[in-house]
């Protein structure tokens, strides 16, 4: 498949290749080195100096003890009670943290005029599936029940995240709906993995030459699931396998043209629509997986996150 990137993204790719013609195979690096490199690259590519009224590192309950989290209060809002977004970072369930996605959380908080709580769930391979799922369910349950304590309007909450965080956001929305609860006015699913066992056209076409190639994708799956006897149809792993989508929160699904996960994000939206769920969908042309961490170097990536903030703001109304 011919890949024609956004010109600014192509310039970033070219500059990286010129600076390091023989980059290391990230799947062979010690995991701590991979994690540190991911945070560094994410911060270098993201918008800087996005001022919020305040950001506060906190702890919230996870499944096996407290986990880290960060509360964002948007610029100019002071102590006003606002809508709230629970944000779950991506990184293949193995990398990423509060710092790698700090910029996008600030941008969403200011753009949607909402308070954001980002979650720092346990990572594989130290904590394999379903540790991340269980942490996010426990943390979200606490935040929903204690929304007022965080200055959030409990009637205007959303959940969202990118990649693995998009997967976990969909799992959370389905989990609460299955329990007969409707805590969210929207789920924001940014290039989510929704079906771990599927072989889509985009996965076949984009096996290499992109940020998330097949080798890296398989590395993440091995880290998350390796050595476990896992049912690939478990809806906590593959939200597309949920038995029912009745009562699921309206969804805004975002994908990138050159992302192997593109088609399963689109197809998940069609599944939700067929079940009567309100869905909006946008595929950003010329971009690759991970673009929410390229907002400082690719204008169309910055604009895409602005779009997401606008969709959230409308949902909160």
- The residues assigned a catalytic role are 163, 259, 289
Alpha helices in the chain (DSSP H): 7-19, 31-45, 102-112, 131-145, 164-178, 201-205, 214-225, 262-274, 299-316
Closest CA to 244 of 277, 217, 282, 288: 277
* CA 118 – CA 229 distance, rounded (Å): 30
Closest CA to 252 of 264, 239, 274, 268: 268
Which pair of structure tokens corresponds to residue 1? Answer: 């498949």
Determine phi and psi for 282, rounding to 5 degrees: -145, 125
Report the chain's terminal Cα–Cα distance, integer Å. 41
Burial 185-197 (b: 16+ CB within 10 A, else e): bbbbbbbbbbbbe
Chain-centroid distance, C-alpha 278: 20
Burial class of residue 247, CB neighbours in 10 A (0-12, 13-18, 19+): middle
Does a cis peptide bond (omega within 30 degrees of 0) precede residue 28?
no
């Amino acid at each position: 498949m011919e890949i024609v990137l956004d010109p600014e993204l192509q310039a970033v790719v070219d500059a990286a290749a010129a600076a390091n013609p023989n980059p290391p195979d990230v799947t062979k690096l010690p995991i701590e080195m991979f994690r540190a490199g991911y945070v560094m690259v994410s911060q270098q590519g993201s918008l800087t100096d996005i001022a919020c009224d305040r950001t506060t590192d906190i702890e919230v309950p996870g499944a096996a003890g407290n986990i880290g989290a960060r509360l964002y209060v948007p610029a100019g809002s002071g102590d006003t009670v606002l809508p709230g977004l629970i944000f779950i970072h991506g990184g293949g369930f193995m990398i990423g943290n509060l710092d790698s996605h700090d910029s996008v959380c600030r941008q969403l908080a200011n753009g949607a005029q909402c308070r954001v709580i980002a979650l720092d769930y346990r990572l594989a391979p130290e904590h394999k599936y379903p540790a991340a799922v269980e942490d996010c369910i426990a943390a979200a349950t606490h935040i929903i029940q204690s929304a007022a304590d965080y200055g959030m309007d409990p009637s205007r909450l959303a959940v969202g995240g990118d990649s693995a965080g998009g997967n976990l956001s969909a799992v959370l929305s389905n989990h609460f709906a299955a329990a007969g609860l409707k805590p969210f006015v929207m789920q924001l699913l940014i290039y989510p993995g929704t079906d771990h066992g599927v072989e889509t056209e985009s996965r076949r076409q984009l096996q290499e030459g992109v940020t998330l190639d097949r080798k890296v994708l398989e590395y993440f799956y091995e880290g998350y699931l390796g050595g476990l006897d896992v049912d690939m149809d478990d809806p906590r792993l593959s939200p597309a396998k949920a038995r029912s989508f009745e009562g699921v929160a309206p969804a805004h699904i975002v994908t990138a043209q050159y992302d192997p996960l593109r088609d399963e994000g689109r197809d998940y939206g069609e599944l939700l629509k067929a079940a009567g769920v309100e869905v909006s969908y946008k595929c950003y042309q010329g971009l690759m997986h991970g673009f929410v961490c390229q907002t400082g170097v690719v204008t169309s990536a910055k604009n895409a996150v602005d779009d997401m903030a606008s969709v959230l703001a409308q949902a909160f109304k």
